[in-house]
Amino acid sequence: MASISRVTTRKGTVRWQARWREPGGGGKLRTAKRNFATQKAAKTHAARMSEERELRGVGDPHRHSTGEFLRRWLAHLRERGDHAPTTLAGYHRHADIAAHHIGHIPLAKLGAHDLDRLYAALRRKGGRPRADSKPARPLSPQSVLHVHRLLHTALGQARKWRFIAHNPATDATAPTVPFQQARGFTAAEIDRLLEIARPDPEVSAMLALLLIAGLRRSELLGLALDAIDLEAGTVSVRRAVTEVRGKAVLREVPKSKSAWRTLSIPPEVIALLRGQKARVLELALQWGTEYSREPMFLFPGLAGVPMRPMAVTERLRQLCRRAKIAGVQPVHGWRHATASLLVAGGTDVKTTQARLGHSTPTITLRLYTDVVDERDRAAGERLAGYLTPANKR
- Tens digits of residue pLDDT in 277-326: 999 999 999 999 999 999 999 999 999 999 999 999 999 999 999 999 99
The arithmetic mean of pLDDT across residues 202-229, rounded, is 94
Find the range with the poorest average confidence among 195-204, 282-291, 351-360. 351-360
d(C-alpha 45, C-alpha 133), whole Å: 51
pLDDT at 61: 41
pLDDT greater at residue 126 or residue 368: 126
pLDDT at 320: 96
pLDDT at 98 over 80: yes
% pLDDT > 70, the chain: 84
pLDDT at 131 over 70: no
The 10 Å Cβ neighbour count of residue 10 is: 5
Closest CA to 244 of 87, 392, 99: 87
The arithmetic mean of pLDDT across residues 318-341, rounded, is 91
The arithmetic mean of pLDDT across residues 180-209, rounded, is 91
Element spanning 32, H or E:
strand 29-36
One-letter amino acid at 265 equals: I
Over its C-alpha atoms, the chain yields an Rg (Å, rounded) of 28
The 10 Å Cβ neighbour count of residue 371 is: 21
| Dihedral sign of CA atoms 204, 210, 213, 218 in order | positive
Closest CA to 70 of 7, 140, 157: 157
pLDDT at 57 over 50: no
Mean pLDDT of the chain: 85
Query: Where does residue 9 rank: exposed (0-12), middle (13-18), buried (19+ CB within 10 A)?
Result: exposed
% pLDDT > 90, the chain: 48
pLDDT at 373 over 60: no
| Dihedral sign of CA atoms 374, 380, 384, 390 in order | positive
66-170: CATH homologous superfamily?
Tyrosine recombinase, N-terminal domain (1.10.150.130)
The answer to whether the 66-170 and 187-377 domains have the same CATH topology is no
pLDDT at 245 over 90: no
d(C-alpha 117, C-alpha 75), whole Å: 27
Element spanning 7, H or E:
strand 3-8
Contact 158, 150 (CB under 8 A): no
pLDDT at 370: 54
Closest CA to 185 of 214, 164, 162: 214
The arithmetic mean of pLDDT across residues 260-286, rounded, is 93
Most confident range (mean pLDDT) of 61-65, 235-239, 373-377 is 235-239
The domain locations on the chain are 3-55, 66-170, 187-377
| Dihedral sign of CA atoms 191, 193, 196, 199 in order | negative
pLDDT at 301: 93
Residue 170 DSSP SS3: helix
The 10 Å Cβ neighbour count of residue 351 is: 13
Most confident range (mean pLDDT) of 34-43, 199-208, 250-259, 331-340 is 199-208
The arithmetic mean of pLDDT across residues 254-275, rounded, is 84
d(C-alpha 99, C-alpha 128), whole Å: 9
- Among 3.30.1330.60, 3.40.47.10, 1.10.443.10, 1.20.58.1180, what is the CATH number of 187-377? 1.10.443.10
d(C-alpha 382, C-alpha 348), whole Å: 18
Which 8-state DSSP code applies to residue 165?
Answer: S
pLDDT at 2: 76
Long-range contacts for 230-235 (Cβ within 8 Å, ≥24 apart)?
230/270, 230/273, 230/274, 230/277, 233/264, 233/265, 233/266, 233/267, 233/270, 234/262, 234/263, 234/264, 234/265, 235/209, 235/262, 235/263, 235/265, 235/273
Find the range with the poorest average confidence among 14-18, 104-108, 236-240, 378-382. 378-382
pLDDT at 206 over 90: yes
The arithmetic mean of pLDDT across residues 167-196, rounded, is 88
74 pLDDT band (50/70/90 cuts)?
A: very high
350 pLDDT band (50/70/90 cuts)?
A: confident
- Tens digits of residue pLDDT in 10-49: 888 888 888 877 766 555 667 888 898 898 888 888 877 7
pLDDT at 385: 62
d(C-alpha 298, C-alpha 273), whole Å: 8
Closest CA to 140 of 155, 124, 128: 124
pLDDT greater at residue 155 or residue 357: 155
